[in-house]
Chain A
Amino acid sequence: MAAVSPQPGGIDLRESSGWRRTKNQIATVVMWSAFALVLIPLVWVLFTVIQKGASAISWQFLTGSPIPPNVMPLSFPGGMWPAILGTLEITGFAAVIAIPLGVLGAVYINEYGGNGWLARLIAFMADVMTGVPSIVMGLFIYTVWTLHYSYSGMAGSFALACLMLPIVIRSTYEMLLLVPDELRQASYALGATKARVTLTVVLPAAVGGITSGALLAVARAAGETAPLLFVILSTQNTNANLFAGANTALSTQIFANAQSPYVGAQARAWGAALTLIVIAFILMLGARLITARFTRYTR
């Protein structure tokens, strides 16, 4: 196409000059290389975990009990079942505590609080609470609970619930904002009370987003180590009872085994890491699936 000479006094419609175009291309290259750069550790870590963890994983690993570190037939590094059960139970109970409370909290901020100072304060503080270091949550539960009531999986759940609560509040709040007001107004017009509107109209409308936000919070909690370090007393036994007695979790086991010099320890750590990543990954996929299928209102 022949170059169009600029109209007198008009806009220059030609392609941008060399230097501007180069700058643009450099910028694009930089942006893509940033993405490539961030992929390097991701691929590296996943590759390492899968490669080293897969050789440790076996049916016995997933369902068996641990064996002492020095006594290790090389084909079987010891089982992780107590840790897997612990992670599932502790995280599950934390979710049972945090999700309803988080949803209710967001309901308060969005539906009941209006523009009042209390609602805005709670919203602000919930955001601030997402930034509290996880070790501080663990110390908190240690001082107020473990020192008085001894170690238990439940204490771990409390610590994780404290971590999850602000995340669930924030994501639920965002989802509730997206539900159109017309829906609420129509329900009020039919004579429903506020509680009924919230429970039967607003929440179901936002349930997709709320669930996916909750699943992501659970995925984050399943991987947390610091809050559990001081409150559950990592044990080697399977403890199905969440409310009494020491318990253990995959994350704390990985932390302990990572620092242990015994031959089996490293294999155990990688196997546990792979298991933990798969659990977190499934939760994350579940969240994405629900967002794709069930979310009615998106940005």
Chain B
Amino acid sequence: MQLRGSKQAMVAGGAALAALALAACSSSSSSSSSSAPAASTGASTAASSSAPVSGTINAAGSTFQTNFQQAAIQGFKATQPGVTVNYGGGGSGAGRTALYSSTVLFAGSDSPIPAKEASKVPAGKTVLYFPVQIGPIALAYNLSGVTGLKLDATVLAGIFQGTIKTWNDPAIKALNPSASLPSTAITPVVRSDSSGTTANFSQYLVDAAGSAWKLGTASTISFPASAHAANGGSGVAQAIKATSGSIGYVDFSTASASGLSAASIKNSAGDFVAPSPTSAAAAASQVTPKANLTFLAVDQAGAGSYPVTYQSWDLVYAQQPSANDAALLKAYLGYLLGAGQQLLTPLNLAPLPSAIDQAAVAQLSKITAAS
């Protein structure tokens, strides 16, 4: 009886290994270029250091940046094969915390360091903000038979506060006279976790809807109970996809990857603009950043500007303990600000306007080594 058991076990184990090997061999393994589309090097501003460096950069933070960072890491390998960059995501809060304890060399953050965290920055260290990407926040919706939905800030405030309850509400009808809007109930989909997307979307509502929006702006908002909350941008996208009559705010690259339709939003010039890398870039080009390169790209003027646009920075300490770390950071950040910017549009993100990009590149020289 014992032999029988072990024989059964061996047969099963052999079968499992054989199955895995068979699947591996028989699946079409057409050799494909496994690297990202080769970033044309040297095309942009001269910050990319040409001297080869080697080492490891550990980074973490904003999940909004993850796609861009992953593409950039692949592209950067082509120019600097001796450098390993690890970007772990984990959220802006986690990234900033890791930066305060110096467990990472740079942190991706969708917002500047909030006031209550200011004390966590070690004494004698200044944080430099390097803007790296701009992206539109799409108002994605799931409403069969309706395309090209047009909305504005007041209507959005009503939807997300629960005062506008059905799709055929007169306020929505007024903006979409030619659309056949059903009487379906509106299910607003919101983020249940703390996120820069919520912060920037609510900031837009504060700026553009004025007194119609009563919930303020923050990374987490207490939406009314009728709102369906989901975890993460992709959670929101999944919820919108699964629920007919729903509408939610989610970054545009996630929305388009999920195949969702996005509404055109009225900007401050009175035009209804659809989210796209171009319209986000147009909004960003209207921005004058502060001296430390922080800015808000929401509700910008200009005809083609998409009003709900947001941005993300990489935070670095100006004072680096080792010369090699300083060199690594300059090389990688220089790549992100230079050749790497071309990786953004295929990801449905927008590159930085050239004025901001040049200012950021100039800021690279502020990274110094303590020795």
Contacts and interface: CB of A to CB of B under 8 A. Distances in A.
Check whether chain A touches chain B (CB < 8 angstroms): yes
B193 to A, nearest CB: 11
Interface string B66-89: 010011011000000000111111
A286 B6 CA distance: 9
B178 interface: no
Interface centre among A60, A64, A292 (most CB of B within 10 A): A292
Contact of B29 (A76, A235, A245, A286): A76
A138 interface: no
Interface stretch (A31-39, A107-115, A146-154, A189-197): A146-154
Contacts of A274: 20, 23
B370 interface: no
A57 B235 contact: no
B16 interface: yes
Interface string A231-262: 00111110100000110000000001001111
Interface centre among A64, A263, A288 (most CB of B within 10 A): A288
A70 B23 contact: no
B86 A69 contact: no
A7 B253 CA distance: 86
Nearest to B347: A70
Contact of B16 (A236, A246, A259, A281): A281
B34 interface: yes
Contacts of B170: none
Contact of A282 (B16, B101, B237, B347): B16
Interface residues of A, number: 57
Interface in B42-82: 56, 58, 60, 67, 70-71, 73-74
Interface string B177-201: 0000000000000000000000000
Contacts of A69: 67, 70, 257
B71 A235 contact: no
A76 B30 contact: yes
A65 B258 CA distance: 24
A58 B346 contact: no
Contacts of A260: 234
10 contacts: A55-B27, A58-B29, A60-B29, A68-B71, A73-B33, A75-B30, A76-B32, A237-B85, A239-B84, A278-B17
